Amino acid sequence: MALAFVGGNALGAVFGEVFGKLYETVATVTHQTLAFKSILEDLKSTLDVLNPLVKDIERLNKELDRPKQETEELITQMKKGEKLIWKYSKLPWWKNWKRCHYANKLIKLEEALFKFFQVNAQALNLRNGMETLKAVNYLCSQMNLVGMNGGMLCAVPRPPDFTVGLDVSLKELKMQLQRVEVSLLVLTAPGGCGKTTLVKMLCRDEEIKGKYVDNIFFVHFTKTPNLKVIVRNLLHHNGCQVPEFQSDEEAITQLEHLLIEIRQKNPILLILDDVWSGSESLLEKFKFHIPDYKILVTSRTAFPRFNCRYNLKPLKEEDAMILFRHSAILSDGSSDIPDEEIVKQVVKLCGGFPLALQVIGRSLCGEPAVTWRKRVKDWSSGDLILDYDSELLNRLKSSVEFSDKKVKSKYEVIMKECFMDLGCFPEDQRIPVTALLDMWVELYDLDEDSTIANLLEISARNLARLVVTRKDGSVLGIYYGVDFVLQHDLLRELAIHESSQEEIEKREKVIVDISGNNRPKWWTELKQQPISSRLLSISTDEMFSSSWCNIQAPELEVLVLNFQTKDYTLPQFVHCMEKLKVLIVTNYGFFPAELGNFHLLSSVPHLKKIRLQNVSIHSLFKTPVKLTWLEKISLFMCNIEENFTNFSIPISDLLPNLREIHFDYCNNLVELPPGLCDIVGLVKISITNCHKLSALPEGIGKLRNLEVLWLRSCINLLELPESIRYLHKLSVLDISDCLSISKLPKYIGELCNLKELHMDGCLNLRNRLPPSTIKLGALKLVVCDEERANLWEHIKAVFDMVDTCLEIKVIKKDNNLNWLFNPS
């Protein structure tokens, strides 16, 4: 691949033509000439190796335009070499002294070819690789943004790594879909039966892929689907400009035009996944009279209006046993499963539902036989087939009991609480790990390690799935800034069900999903009666008008607001929440939203953490709000205008106790406000994937308490300011994938407490490290790529001489983006 870049970017069509003539000449003369034949054969062998590359050069050059001056000298040498070979072949036998002269020139020509491809090409490849990686990095960041707001738009997710018992269903479903008369097929089964898994497998079928090629589109429905949003995603997925639709009719018209256009290449398969009851009329809108255009719907509802259906049945006993055993086996591969009869009873109670088999199998993994027998006794209710979701929920409830003891330990109680908290986020959306950390640290008085341990335990029990996008061996653990959690919608229902067992006034958690302006009945009936909830989550759709009812929640500590509208107003009741510590505001809409009523937060005396996603924050600073106790602010995918740096009041006065600030995927962040450097209490700054940021303020050296500075994938950041030398408490510095940084600060050795330095992917950093680097006596870990590792060889040698343990961890880039394609 690297050589392909060299060929495509550095060499022109002229090079290919001249090389071809040289190759032909050498081949002909080698065949005809006996004298000094070994020299010609060596040259021909060299050209044989390079010949396939030159063919790539000619092909790629048609697509990429690079200056030909880079190869003119080599082209001149090859032209001279061609003439030289013909002269060499025609010399009479008595002029052997001339042959030696020509032979030396031919050897030099061969050396020149090697030099070009081994030395010059390496430099060219580095330059071009930087340009390419810069583009790829930006593209991947855009893919990440899309992924955070609902997966890789309309790409087909990958099926699970382990499936069983679906082969026959896959064949039957494929046969039914391929029938000429079928234009819309409904795949129906109860929740947790494997409908979506079967569809993912179908899309991986070679025959299906061969027919539809790149025209398979996967759209996940919600309980309250928004047609305009769906069409926007389909347009964006296909590289089209995304307009603001004034009506559903306008959106459907645009969709029809798109489908007609892409149908000219290949047939189309549109998958509408997890369609809820009541959406029949919406499904009708996706039907168009386009040849070879088919719709596959998955739903818990059979939709009698559509007569083409495939009913997915639960797993047979044999397959159910295989899946259950796979889930119940310990992670080291050993088995601690009791006797066969108990296993059969558990499997039978699961009714052949893959989700139940996996979740319950994992919950029993490693448990003693007495626990298995007690669970079987508790589950046995006489009804052996789980025909309804409510019945399945009852079967799954025991999986969130983290022990069988009547009196639970504090750890077990918190684990269940953490699971229920996952219901605070909308169905089928990625749940940011950092948001969960903010919530759990405050709600349960946990440190960060304990919260991560809880999350790993929930994931291990298949109650949710933790997706880690990057691991780099940091001694501080995994960087969780862009990691997320996925949860099956049935498990979300279980989480909400478990948190809703008491009367609304007494609940610890209140989770509200509002469709349009249809507020729940209890909300309007409460009147002035307060609720005792510590956590309140309110999710609204694109039709919500931001007309709030009053809620009194004097004990509230965490408020989670999820919305999809272009303009969103914080509810008026926020200013009365005196104990509020964490505010999480997330816009799941397509465009950044304006956020109103931000000034209400000035009345919240104990607010410690704010997380904003996909909102425009410039309006927040028109009337600056003093947040006296705020310790952490996280801005993810936020639209930051230039006036972010212009404050009428010093930012250190507005945020006097700020300890952490995070900018992730804020693509128009150009510069940091210099006043940020006056907040001397700052401990952590994280700026990742902010591609327009080109410089840090020189005053950053004033942050004498700064311990962590993350600058990942800021591809236009040119350098670190020299004042960084004064950050004597800095323990972690991360400049990974900062492509434009060409050198480390001259006095980096004065970072006397630096323990970790991450610099993998810094392609422009090639020069010798500053001499002061050897003074980094506290440095324990350097994470870098292979080329950067070479820069550390002499430094490590010095460290070894003084018995200082320094690990140089060389990592290979994991460019596998499969996690983007697996939103469920």
Residue 412: pLDDT above 70?
A: yes
Please indicate, yes or no, whether residues 233 and 287 belong to a single structural domain of this protein: yes
The CA distance from 343 to 700, in Å, is: 62
- Does 134 share its domain with 220? no
Split at pLDDT 50, 70, 90, the class of 69 is: low
Q: Is 596 a member of any domain?
A: no
- pLDDT at position 383 is 38
Please tell me the predicted confidence (pLDDT) of residue 405.
59
Q: Which helix (H) or strand (E) holds 76?
A: helix 72-90
| Per-residue confidence (pLDDT) for residue 549, from 0 to 100 | 79
Of 12-26, 47-61, 174-188, 445-459, highest mean pLDDT: 174-188
Same domain, 128 and 32: yes
Give the pLDDT mean for 719-744: 94
pLDDT of 374 over the 90 cut: no
Buried b or exposed e, range 319-347, using 16+ CB within 10 angstroms: bbbbbbeebbbeeeeeeebbeeebbebbb
Which candidate, 413, 406, 404, places its Cα nearest to that of 379? 404
Do the bridges between strand 660-664 and strand 593-596 make them parallel or antiparallel, or are there none, so unpaired? Answer: unpaired
- The whole-number pLDDT of residue 439 equals 96
Residue 140 has pLDDT above 90, yes or no: no
- Is residue 617 within 8 Å of residue 666, measured between CB atoms? no
The arithmetic mean of pLDDT across residues 188-194, rounded, is 86
Question: 174 in a domain, yes or no?
Answer: yes
- Residue 411 maps to a domain: no
Query: Is 59 a residue whose pLDDT tops 60?
Result: no
Residue 561: the pLDDT is 96
Q: What percent of the chain has pLDDT over 70?
A: 75
| Domain membership flag for residue 746 | no
Q: What is the pLDDT of residues 643-668, one digit of tens each?
A: 566 666 888 888 999 999 999 998 88
Q: What pLDDT, on a 0 to 100 scale, did the predictor assign at position 464?
A: 86
Percent of the chain with pLDDT over 90: 38
Structure tokens at 72: 């003119």
Q: Lowest mean pLDDT: which of 183-187, 262-266, 327-331, 425-429?
A: 327-331
The model's confidence at residue 292, banded by pLDDT at 50, 70 and 90, is: very high
**For residue 22, is it within any domain?**
yes
Q: Are both 105 and 238 inside the same structural domain? A: no
Per-residue pLDDT at 640 exceeds 50: yes
Which residues contact residue 577 at a Cβ distance below 8 angstroms, ignoring those fewer than 6 apart? Answer: 553, 554, 556, 559, 604
737 — alpha (psi -120 to 50), left (phi > 0) or beta?
left
Given a cut of 60, whether residue 382 has pLDDT beyond it is no
**124, containing H or E segment:** helix 121-148
Comparing C-alpha atoms, which of 668, 606, 599, 608 is closest to residue 634? Answer: 608
The more confidently predicted of residues 511 and 304 is 511
The pLDDT value given to residue 338 = 77
Q: Are residues 286 and 191 in the same domain?
A: yes
Q: What is the CATH number of the domain that holds 228?
A: 3.40.50.300
Residue 559 CA to residue 424 CA, distance in Å, equals 10
Could you tell me if 138 and 185 lie in one domain?
no
Specify whether 177 is located in the same domain as 248: yes
Confidence bin at 574 (pLDDT 50/70/90): very high
**Between 434 and 56, residue with greater pLDDT:** 434
Q: pLDDT category, 494, cuts 50, 70, 90?
A: confident
Quickly list DSSP for 667-703: TT-----GGGGG-TT--EEEEES-TT-----GGGGG-
pLDDT at 150: 44
Task: Choose among 678, 744, 679: nearest CA to 711.
Answer: 744
Same-domain status, 97 and 11: yes
Residue 6's pLDDT band (cuts 50, 70, 90): very low
Same domain, 142 and 185: no
- For residue 62, the model assigns a pLDDT of 45
**What pLDDT does residue 622 have?**
64
Tens digits of per-residue pLDDT, 741-750? Answer: 999 999 999 9
434 contacts 469 by C-beta, under 8 angstroms: no
Grade residue 118 by pLDDT with cuts at 50, 70 and 90.
low
The pLDDT of residue 1 is 31
Least confident of 398-407, 569-578, 773-782, 795-804: 398-407
Please give the mean pLDDT across all residues of the chain: 80
Q: What is the mean pLDDT of residues 564-585?
A: 92
Tokens of 329: 């086996």
pTM of the entire structure? 0.75
Which pLDDT tens digit goes with each residue over 259-276?
999 998 899 999 999 998
Q: Which of 283, 329, 322, 289 is nearest to 303 (CA)?
A: 283
Residue 263 lies in a domain: yes
Q: Give me the mean pLDDT over the 445-450 stretch.
A: 86
Question: What is the rounded distance in angstroms from the CA atom of residue 668 to the CA atom of residue 691?
Answer: 8
Q: Taking 70 as the threshold, does the pLDDT of residue 224 lie above it?
A: yes
Looking at the DSSP bridge assignments, the partners of residue 563 are 587
pLDDT at 641 over 70: no
Q: What pLDDT shows up at residue 557?
A: 97
Tell me how far CA of residue 526 lies from CA of 505, 515, 531, 746, in angstroms. Answer: 9, 19, 9, 64
**Among candidates 246, 248, 214, 215, which has minimal Cα distance to 231?**
248
Q: Would you say residue 81 has pLDDT above 90?
A: no
If asked whether residues 242 and 143 sit together in one domain, one would say: no
Q: How confident is the model at residue 696 (pLDDT cuts 50, 70, 90)?
A: very high
Q: How many domains does the chain have?
A: 2
Domain boundary, last residue among 294, 311, 328: 311
Same-domain check for residues 138 and 172: no
797, part of any domain: no
More confident residue, 544 or 67: 544
**591 domain-assigned:** no
Q: Is the pLDDT of residue 61 over 50?
A: no
Structure token digits, residue 159: 């099926």
- Where among 266, 287, 311 does a domain terminate? 311
- 612, pLDDT greater than 90: yes
Is the same domain home to 133 and 180?
Answer: no
Q: How far apart are CA 816 and CA 819, in angstroms?
A: 8
Select the highest-mean-pLDDT range: 77-91, 209-223, 636-650, 738-752.
Answer: 738-752
Domain final residue pick, 98, 115, 148: 148
Q: What value, to the nearest 5°, has the Cα angle with vertex 359 and ends 493 and 459? A: 85
For position 355, what pLDDT does the model report? 87
Average pLDDT over residues 173-192: 91
What is the domain extent for residue 9?
2-148
